[in-house]
Amino acid sequence: MLDLIKIRDLHVKVDHFEDTFYILRGVNLSVSMNSSLGIVGESGSGKTTICLSVMGLLPKGAKITKGKILFQGKDLSCYSDKQMETVRGKKISMIFQDARAALNPVLTVGDQISDIYCHYTGNSHSLGMKKAVEVLDAMGFPNARSRVKSYPHELSGGMCQRVLIAMALVSTPKLVIADEITSGIDVTIQSQVIELVKSVSDELSAGLVFVSHDIGVIIEACSDIAVVYSGIVFEQGNISTVLEKPLSPYTKVLLKCFEIGHSDRMSFIPGNTPDLKLVKLGCPFAPRCEYVMDICKVEVPKMKLYEPGHVVACHKYI
Amino acid sequence: MANIKNIKLADILKVRKSRTFLRLLPGLTFLIPLVLIALFVPYFPLQDPMKVNTVIRHQPPSFEHFFGTDVIGMDVFSRVMYATRIDFLISILCVLIAVSIGAPLGAVAGYFGGILETITSRFIEIFQSFPIMLFAMIIRIVLGPSVICLAVAIGICISPFYAKLVRSIVKPLRDTDYIQAAKVTGQTSLQIIFRHLIPNALPAIVSQFTLSAAVSIRIVAGLSFLGLGVPTPTPEWGSMIQTGAGWVIFGMWWPSVFPGLALFFTIWGLSQISQELESMYTL
């Protein structure tokens, strides 16, 4: 299958006053057309940084030091801001975590959707408003015709999330990045929102990247899964294969945490996530890994194809 | 202590709301009549404000001439009324010019930050370190003698204030999610500034309108008093005070005092309202 986006050996570091943080230490990912990839990882593992570097919106001080982001064969990491403006929205679009904060409080939701629509199609504002009603209607927005005139604070969290999805998809992008979109909303609405994002991106035949720390959400939403830890992708593959036969030791223990165990205590991974300030030589999971070998402490594992559609980065499989 | 706890936030807000109008009342009692006069003065049965009649010069206030007549026999009452119009018009123009220069400048500085912001801010500070009257005089002399040039000169002088205000509002908004989201959807910086950032600054800008209107009326009158404002035959408070000023020591107080009072009440009303609006905006 053709790769829509391919990230190769991406390194990102952040200079913050005197300190330097190594956020990404060689990320390898690929999303093919029409598929959906779920990125799962702990807090601070670099999930959001991956998304932001794809969008070219890394915060001040953060810098891509190495690696490539190939989108439809073109390297986005060396694009200028002006060039990125043609990619953002039109080709890659992103849905933000906190829906209410991602909407401008002084503009009506209809205005915000139609702004984007008009920006890409060059249509008039009134046509844009019609389109906004249409899109919101298609998303199961109750009373869309009158609700387009309301301001973000007049809507509930779930509705704001829908507006945000409408904004991200009205420009018919090729790739949609959803950054923890379910974390702010009620569990009952969660699955509705996931279904909505899935169905709309299917309709556009767009690739979907779904970032979450909740494996349950990813299982529901995605066809592929990538496991990120401390700026390294440990494993990527079809979701059923990875769940049935996890290869990386980290994936194994992570999945164990999600299992409903027979004992009263939840299982956990002993140890702490590594300090991002330090330049570690070996595998970042080595201090907590039960299969640790000598080579793990000196060399970062490389991505290796284990079976078709299932890659793993671990010294155990070399 | 118990009593304090029992007061609910809603009650406080209710009280505040009910007092909103009362707080604006003193300013409005002077301002509303003045605005009405400015709007409808040509329809009033007044004497021609520019009609010179040397036969009736230096007449004290009477029923025929409420505010008396001035040195060349023009009716002071009618001139004070007509001056309302030109003074309000110039001040509105000044404010609009100031906002349209200052707001984009501040938004650009606040949004882009870095060296651009430093340069703009230092430039604004240099601007503001001049006495505003002196600066308006210089620009007015350079631009030339017309009402529009006067408004532009004063507008330029007031604009740094708006630039600073907008910059301070835009700066923290730069990193909010919705600006990031707007970037993600591929909108250009110009679109973000004018569509997203400036509308967010509008409440603050509007609440400052009245204050800068007061300031600009003061400067217009001041410049006219110095002979740099509105050309003399046109009725204007500042120039009327100036023409009457030389005669006050001879006991002819009316050509100066009445326009002075009009000026005083206008500026006082405007600053009163702006003060109340500002405290309402911050609360």
* pLDDT, tens digit (0-9, with 9 covering 90-100), for A127-168: 989 989 988 888 878 888 888 899 988 888 888 888 888 888
Determine the distance from the C-alpha atom of residue A280 to the mean position of all C-alpha atoms in its chain, rounded to a whole number.
Answer: 25
Say if residue A186's pLDDT is above 80.
no
CB contact under 8 A, A103 and B181: yes
Chain A residues with beta carbon closer than 8 angstroms to that of B117: none
Compute the nearest-CA separation of A236 from chain B (Å): 26
Q: Are residues A195 and A267 in the same domain?
A: yes
Residue B83 lies in a domain: yes
Q: Are residues A177 and A260 in the same domain?
A: yes
CB contact under 8 A, A106 and B191: no
Q: Alpha-carbon distance A187 to A200, whole Å?
A: 20
Going by DSSP bridges, is the β-strand pair A36-41/A19-32 parallel, antiparallel, or unpaired? unpaired
Residue of A nearest to B173 (CA): A104
Compute the nearest-CA separation of B161 from chain A (Å): 23
Compute the nearest-CA separation of A162 from chain B (Å): 14
Helices in chain B by DSSP H: which ranges?
Answer: 2-6, 9-40, 76-112, 114-129, 132-143, 147-173, 177-184, 189-191, 198-225, 237-245, 254-282
Q: Provide the token pair at B16.
A: 């505040």
Residue B15 lies in a domain: no
Chain B residues with beta carbon closer than 8 angstroms to that of A58: none
Domain at B227, CATH number: 1.10.3720.10
Q: Are residues A185 and A81 in the same domain?
A: yes
Q: Are residues A118 and A248 in the same domain?
A: no
Q: Which of A57, A101, A164 sits opposite B176 (nearest CB)?
A: A101
Residue B147 lies in a domain: yes
Compute the nearest-CA separation of B181 from chain A (Å): 6
Q: Tell me the whole-structure pTM to 2 decimals.
A: 0.75
Residue B55 lies in a domain: no
Q: Are residues A68 and A142 in the same domain?
A: no
Q: Are residues A181 and A154 in the same domain?
A: no
Q: Read off the pLDDT of each residue in B203-224 and give the average, rounded to a whole number.
A: 88
Q: Which of A93, A98, A120 sits opposite B184 (nearest CB)?
A: A93
Give the SS3 label for residue B166: helix
Domain boundary among A131, A155, A172: A172
Rg, Å, chain B Cα set = 23
Q: What are phi and psi of B214, to 5 degrees?
A: -60, -45
- Order across the sheet with A304-307: list the strands: A92-95, A175-179, A207-212, A36-41, A224-229, A232-238, A310-312, A304-307
Q: Alpha-carbon distance A301 to A295, whole Å?
A: 9
In this structure, is the dihedral angle defined by the CA atoms of residues A37, A42, A43 and A49, taken in order, positive or negative?
negative
Structurally, how many domains does chain B consist of? 1
pLDDT digit string, tens, across residues A38-63: 999 888 788 888 988 888 888 888 88
For residue A112, the surrounding DSSP H or E stretch is helix A109-121
Domain boundary among A172, A195, A230: A172
Identify whether the C-beta of residue B235 lies closer than 8 Å to the C-beta of residue B82. yes
Share of chain A above pLDDT 70, in %: 96
In this structure, is the dihedral angle defined by the CA atoms of residues A148, A154, A158 and A161, taken in order, positive or negative?
positive
Residue A293 lies in a domain: no
Determine the distance from the C-alpha atom of residue B249 to the mean position of all C-alpha atoms in its chain, rounded to a whole number.
Answer: 32
The beta-strand segments (E) located in chain A are 3-16, 19-32, 36-41, 62-71, 74-75, 92-95, 175-179, 207-212, 224-229, 232-238, 304-307, 310-312
Q: What are phi and psi of A62, to 5 degrees?
A: -85, 140
Q: Read off the pLDDT of each residue in A219-230 and give the average, rounded to a whole number.
A: 88
Q: Are residues A178 and A259 in the same domain?
A: yes
Structurally, how many domains does chain A consist of? 2
Q: Alpha-carbon distance A57 to B52, whole Å?
A: 70
CB contact under 8 A, A102 and B183: no
Q: Alpha-carbon distance B256 to B245, whole Å?
A: 6
Domain at A212, CATH number: 3.40.50.300
pLDDT digit string, tens, across residues B164-178: 999 999 998 888 888
CB contact under 8 A, B184 and A55: yes
Residue B3's alpha-carbon distances to B13, B14, B17, in angstroms, are 17, 18, 21
CB contact under 8 A, B178 and A94: no
Residue with tokens 């199609």: A121
Say which range, A26-30, A272-276, B198-202, has the weakest mean pLDDT: A272-276
Q: Read off the pLDDT of each residue in B20-41 and give the average, rounded to a whole number.
A: 86
Q: Are residues A185 and A249 in the same domain?
A: yes
Q: Read off the pLDDT of each residue in A238-242 and give the average, rounded to a whole number.
A: 88
Residue B6 lies in a domain: no
Q: Are residues A127 and A155 in the same domain?
A: yes
Q: Are residues A150 and A215 in the same domain?
A: no
Is this prediction's ipTM beyond 0.85?
no
Look up the domain containing B232 and give its range.
26-49+64-282
pLDDT at B6: 56
Residue A85 lies in a domain: yes
Say if residue A92's pLDDT is above 50.
yes
Q: Are residues A64 and A195 in the same domain?
A: yes
Residue B56 lies in a domain: no
Say if residue B94's pLDDT is above 90.
yes
Q: Are residues A192 and A51 in the same domain?
A: yes
Residue B8 lies in a domain: no
Q: Within the 144-183 window of chain B, which residues sit less than 8 Å (CB to CB) from chain A?
A: 175-178, 180-183
Look up the domain containing A163 and give its range.
99-172
pLDDT at B1: 42
Residue B2 lies in a domain: no
Q: Provide the token pair at A91.
A: 């080709």
Residue A110 lies in a domain: yes
